[in-house]
Amino acid sequence: MKKKKVNLRDIDPKEHQGEHSHDDGHNHDHGDGSAFKTFIPAIVSFVMLILGIAVDYFDAIPAFEGWVRIVWYTIAYLPVGCPVIKEGWKSIMRGDVFTEFFLMSIATLGAFSIGEYPEGVAVMLFYAVGELFQNAAVNRAKGNIKALLDVRPNEALVYRDGDFVSVNPETVEIGEKIQVRVGEKVPLDGILLSEKGSFNTAALTGESKPDTIAKDDNVFAGSINLDGVIEVETTKEFKDSSIARILDMVQNATARKSKTELFIRKFARIYTPIVVFLAIGLTFLPYFFVDDYVFRDWLYRALIFLVISCPCALVISIPLGYFGGLGAASRNGILFKGASFLDAMTKVNTVVMDKTGTVTKGVFKIKEINSLTFEEAEFMKYLMAMEEQSTHPIAKAILEYKADGSDYEATNVSEVAGKGLKGTVNGKTVLVGNKALMTSNSIEVPSETDSIVESIVMMSIDGKFAGYVTIADELKDDAHQAIKQIRDAGISTIIMLSGDKDSITQQVAKELNIDWAKGGLLPEDKLNEVEELKKQPDTKVAFIGDGINDAPVLAASGVGIAMGGLGSDVAIETADVIIQTDQPSKIARAIQIGRSTRRIVWQNIGLAFGVKVIVLILGAGGLATMWEAVFADVGVALLAILNAVRLQKMKWQDS
């Protein structure tokens, strides 16, 4: 059976705010007025069916018999039956005979042929109503994707010829200056030219907390400006902006279908023709084995058999389940590149993670100041005066000690390759750097520094050791919570692989209670470690990295998860799952959503098969009527849809 595929590609990125319909013979527009119009044919048929049954039951109109009765039920049938018959005929012309449209047409026309007019109308009516509800559920599942599409900016105020003019964002070039007013969406990626800005990034990251950034920081398309008019210098064309690429990825998420979904589609193509031939056999074969064979009775049983056979519940509720999972994930700031990765996430039993940028912030901070000769403030004035001459990340961390810098000025500063800086401050000779710099200048370093794991910056003044500062990368706020939740999710092994030095890696791993860790690794070393893990039987590996230098490992692992993917082109290209919020605690949430999706999909499969098998047996034995057949088809489909829609309502609690 071939049903209209529900694919996120159906959403035109340039026309996402317009109406959307499925080409299944029914018009499913979603404006206030047109939404009601789609129900008018079903309402007309329902009213005529109820009136007809009432007249039949109470025998209120003696003339309601013969051709009058046939014409009445035929008129009741046409509003819901014609679109289905038309679609069935189109499918036959395309060479696809065994569709649900064909089955419903044969079953209902067959009911008319044996005089079961009310049942023929009822079957087609309930089928049409089921289709309307199915499409409503699908459109609800797409709501998150459409909401995401709504963040696509449709205009940009660009500075040209001495003034800001409104243009299509696709025409703005790299390096142009754009203006964003309060409440407007940032149209393209860029850097902030204004002193500061506050942005709502909820549509991009799922986080409602405003993001405040300073001059020269990155601004992402789709963010909403919350405070004052700002100016931004564009760094990417519209088609290459983070939001455009994420939207493209989400729109095409169902291109990678799950194995379950692919199996059901293949199964339906084989299953439906078999049931059709069984129905034919059920009509004629009893003639040879039953003494009191009545053609009409066995044809009626066969028609029931056909109605029950429609695998609507399977074909619509399974993709809908995966849509629900993808939508729920995107609401939580997690982007899966396809339904297949929702399934893959449920099989992961080993999580391998990078350190810097994954569980740590990737930003150096002063951890300890140890001055031997001066007060701390005086010591830091000398140190900051020297570090103001450096662009090293550690120098930036030291300069954060005091926002307006040092009162002292360093002169004659020179760099000693691989060791540090040498210069003059207040007429004193100052050395700032590592232990190698100190020992090469015959400066005695306290032995206590040998046991320090963190990065250390030492300083000497006029040939005497003055003290040191330790610098460390901070753990993310939810790092401990993330590891606990991953374990609570049933992950048996957690591993850390880092390019940072091994001593620091081991310290972070111990603090977070990670099973084992290894530092000092190049990207190819990480890749080799993951490849070795994959060789172990029954090991399903998910790797979490920052999406830049970890790209080879992201691609090679069973599931590649990129942290902070919004700002990383490589992450969007390489990873299977992107954590937009940069929070490692979202990893456990991704596992939960994957498992919930899979559980609901299999519940639907069990429900559909169980009920259909029971009613098929009853129908073949003459114990089921068309009404039971309607429940087995449309009723079960609606139950499965309601079950799938639960994914969009679920609240995932932190472990």
Q: CA–CA distance from 386 to each of 363, 435, 635 (Å)?
A: 20, 17, 77
CA distance 597 to 647: 7
At 65 the three-state DSSP class reads coil
CB atoms within 10 A of CB 537: 4
CA distance 540 to 548: 23
CA distance 604 to 598: 10
**What is the rounded end-to-end Cα distance, in angstroms, of the chain?**
42
What number of residues does the chain have? 655
Residue whose entry in the numeric block shows the structure tokens 């849509």: 323
248 classed as catalytic: no
CA distance 321 to 339: 10
**Structure tokens of 434?**
């590592």
CA distance 67 to 76: 14
Taking alpha carbons only, the member of 456, 406, 450 closest to residue 432 is 456
CA distance 559 to 332: 18
Cβ–Cβ < 8 Å for 626, 304:
yes
Torsion of CA 247, 249, 250, 255, to 10 degrees: 140
Cβ–Cβ < 8 Å for 561, 544:
yes
Taking alpha carbons only, the member of 17, 569, 570 closest to residue 239 is 569
Residue whose entry in the numeric block shows the structure tokens 């990383």: 568
Q: Is 17 left (phi over 0), alpha (psi -120 to 50) or beta?
A: alpha
Q: DSSP letters of 444-470?
A: ---GGGGG--SEEEEEEETTEEEEEEE
CA distance 79 to 47: 12
Of 354, 500, 546, 550, the active-site residue reads: 354
Instruction: Check residue 536 and report its DSSP letter.
Output: S
Active site residues: 354
